[in-house]
Structure 1
């Protein structure tokens, strides 16, 4: 029963964002296609020659951008949507005895679907260009770690949003700053040494660089970064669940 309800909530969260548009859920496919086209044709054609050793040939920089946007979309989009999960579900929670730990999940899953569509398109393009290698299978380990990171951060933000109204705005500002502190559009090696040292402590950078390694440069991600991604993801998720347990009564009273 709970799994059926979870599926219904996830489906609703995914469909609601397209409910007012004429194309409907077609945007879930069309928008990633447009993004990938911009990355490959515009950025790839203009800047592809500057990225040596990248898959995709002259579209190399476009592939670099697209592969970096996938994990960032999952993380930033998921956390951004999940932070309002409890407040936005106030009416539902007063009617259905739904475990609070489940509430952010439909938003996270729904937001991740667009990123996964983009990933599928990118893999297809790489295969067509002859740039897809076996290293892409490493993403099977990267994606769950990234999901744990998004869930933990989103759950903590969702709890804080109930008690502090400005949390959503703070999260949005943090995500804007985080985008430029994550090597989505630039190479880590072009940064000064001190900046590279800062990025070494950024969990989002671990995920993005793992995608770059597996899809763009055809090599395995750094195992230390992969282990750290899982470690931080598990830690944040565990802390979020602990915090939820400690605050659940007050949280339900406020809702």
Structure 2
């Protein structure tokens, strides 16, 4: 286990270095990119479309912070969706010539995306402290845990399938873009018609975004019943995806 942790840490550092190796700002983009996005989306949706959040003071800062929390979670999931399909086939020498725990490669994608998520939520927490942070915010890591399990399960599934179906890598950006507008990121969940509220309830990203906003911005307690349901679903999907990965892994070398 210690050896696996060491290997994972080394590959995670390598992944982060590769992402920003040719950039002048380097890892600073982990912070600058979400800030630039939030300024753009606040301008478009708050100023142009006149969207207001049903809670808070209705200011641009209030809207921007609400969107920033949701956008940070979306960026985490979208990054996993976009990068996971190539996480295995991008390293054919590890599959064919070296004994390597291949399941770590999709997990590294999740870890690297998680680093940006943590930094973004730290920024959101600083703004929330300035506005008056609630003690319920301490439950934020617990609220995020099911989404992390969902992301790891998705990474294993996409990484395994991506070896056999390279088209998954081309389809992934379209799926993540669709997810952006089907999830209440730029608009509150209350704007979704009642007949379609089930889409929000079943969407792990939507539920997590609403829970995180409630904890950081409103001091609303976590709904433990809904959290337990997502936790059970995420654990079941994780077990299935790990079994599926192990089931198809022997064929990776033949394809690559």
- Taking structure 1 as the reference length, the TM-score comes to 0.89
**Which of 49, 52, 56 is the matching residue for 1:50?**
52
CA apart distance, 1:243: 0.6
CA displacement 1:43-97 (0-9 Å, x = unmatched)? 6788899324338965211111011112212222123212211111222333432
SS in 1 for 2:222: coil
- CA shift, 1:38, in A, is 5.0
SS of the equivalent of 2:103 reads helix
Aligned in 2, Cα 1:105/1:7: closer, same or farther, shift over 3 Å?
Answer: same
Could you tell me which runs of 5 or more consecutive residues in structure 1 were left unpaired when the two chains were aligned.
none
Give distance in 2, aligned partners of 1:140 and 1:200: 20
Residue 239 of structure 2 corresponds to: 238
| Structure 1 vs Structure 2 CA RMSD | 2.4
Please point out which of 77, 85, 91 is paired with 2:93: 91
Q: Kindly state the Cα deviation for residue 138 of structure 1 after the two structures are TM-superposed.
A: 1.8
Instruction: State the partner residue of 1:186.
Output: 187
Query: Secondary structure of the equivalent of 1:103?
Result: helix
Q: Distance in 2 between matches of 1:31 and 1:179?
A: 16
1:181 CA displacement? 1.5
Q: What is the aligned partner in structure 1 of residue 124 from structure 2?
A: 122
State the Cα deviation string for residues 206-236 of structure 1 (Å, max 9, x = none). 2111112112222023223212221222122
Q: Indicate whether 1:20 and 2:22 are aligned.
A: yes
Q: How many angstroms apart in 2 are the aligned matches of 1:225 and 1:59?
A: 29
Tell whether the 8 Å contact from 2:134 to 2:218 is kept in structure 1 after alignment: no
Q: What is the CA–CA distance in structure 2 between the aligned matches of 1:40 and 1:177, rounded to whole Å? A: 20
Q: Which moved more, 1:51-60 or 1:169-178?
A: 51-60
Match in the other structure for 1:6: 8
| Gap change, CA 1:47 and 1:120, over 3 Å in 2 | farther
- Does 2:216 align with 1:223? no
Indicate the residue corresponding to 2:81 in structure 1. Answer: 79
Please show how residues 121-140 of structure 1 align to structure 2 within 5 Å.
121-130=123-132, 132-140=133-141
Number of aligned pairs? 254
Separation of aligned partners in 1, 2:232 and 2:106? 21
| Residue in 2 that maps onto 1:150 | 151
- CA gap 1:191/1:33 in 2 versus in 1, 3 angstroms: closer
Measured in 2, the distance between the counterparts of 1:176 and 1:39 equals 15
- Partner Cα distance (1:128, 1:50) in 2: 21
Equivalents in 1 of 2:220, 2:72: separation in Å?
18
* SS of equivalent residue, structure 1 residue 100: coil
Q: CA deviation at 1:150?
A: 0.3
Per the alignment, residue 251 of structure 2 pairs with: 250
Task: Tell me if the contact between 2:110 and 2:151 (Cα under 8 Å) persists in the aligned partners.
Answer: yes
Partner residue in 1 for 2:197: 196
Alpha-carbon distance between aligned partners in 1 of 2:150 and 2:231, rounded to the nearest angstrom: 8
Give yes or no for contact 2:52–2:58 (8 Å, CA) kept in 1: no
CA distance in structure 1 between the partners assigned to 2:41 and 2:120 by the alignment: 11
